[in-house]
């Protein structure tokens, strides 16, 4: 995967994205992602890889300063169409190289983005960089388990699935390795498809 190809593939996905990834199992998982998560008033919240704005539809507290970024102009256009009367700042931006100062946001939300970007390690580093010291990073994505070894069929399918815009072989523990001194995992639980999809909340160690 690379940024140029992702722009092409998500131009294709944008008209049908909500029908697949914002309905049924995925919608239920997104709702569970925000369970028991209470954004404090006036919080600065960054949605990384906001796509068509599926997560934004689930935010009940409107007294927030929301910034939403995505590499795909076509996906952003869909999101902006849903919230044209809301005070949300939509920006076309690479999640691997964000144009924000360090510690800019109280919350950073990343749904199905680490498995999509060309360099998930760089994307996570950027999320960590822009979240405030007392802030939280909320992730919803698909990861192989800590001790899982990719089966032969998955190994064969992985490059094909990557061609379609996502990676089925990421291990969160590998991504998080090296951040343990400065970050801690507050929550890590299965959220869909027998744990293939997980909700993970991490924060900076104070």
Q: What is the mean pLDDT of the chain?
A: 94
The Cα–Cα gap between 124 and 113 comes to 10
**Domain covering 3-204 in this structure, CATH number:** 3.40.50.150
> Tens of pLDDT along 7-44?
888 998 899 999 999 999 999 999 999 988 889 889 99
**pTM of the shown model:** 0.94
Rounded to 5 degrees, what angle do the CA atoms 7, 71, 33 make? 115
List phi, psi (to 5°) of 175: -65, -40
- What per-residue confidence (pLDDT) applies to 85? 73
Other C-beta atoms closer than 10 Å to the C-beta of 38 total 9
| Contact of 90 with 79, CB cutoff 8 Å | yes
> Tens of pLDDT along 58-93?
997 778 999 999 999 999 999 999 998 778 999 999
Other C-beta atoms closer than 10 Å to the C-beta of 30 total 22
Instruction: Name residue, tokens 């690379």.
Output: 2
- What per-residue confidence (pLDDT) applies to 174? 97
The Cα–Cα gap between 105 and 133 comes to 9
| Contact of 114 with 123, CB cutoff 8 Å | yes
């Amino acid at each position: 995967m690379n940024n140029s190809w992702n722009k092409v593939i998500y131009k294709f996905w944008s008209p049908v994205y909500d029908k697949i990834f914002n309905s049924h199992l995925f919608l239920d998982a997104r709702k569970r992602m925000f369970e028991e998560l209470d954004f404090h008033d006036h919080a600065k919240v960054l949605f990384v890889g906001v796509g068509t704005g599926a997560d934004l539809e689930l935010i009940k507290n409107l007294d927030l300063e929301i910034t939403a970024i995505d590499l795909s102009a076509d996906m952003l256009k869909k999101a902006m169409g849903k919230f044209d009367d809301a005070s949300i700042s939509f920006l076309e931006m690479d999640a691997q190289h964000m144009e924000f100062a360090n510690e800019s946001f109280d919350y950073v939300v990343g749904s199905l983005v680490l498995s999509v970007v060309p360099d998930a390690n760089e994307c996570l580093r950027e999320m960590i960089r822009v979240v405030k010291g007392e802030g939280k990073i909320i992730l919803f994505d698909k990861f192989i388990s800590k001790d899982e070894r990719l089966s032969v069929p998955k190994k064969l399918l992985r490059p094909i699935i990557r061609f379609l815009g996502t990676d089925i072989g990421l291990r969160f523990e590998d991504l998080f390795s090296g951040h343990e001194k400065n970050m801690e995992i507050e929550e890590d639980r299965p959220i869909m498809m027998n744990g293939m999809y997980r909700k993970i909340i991490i924060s900076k160690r104070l």
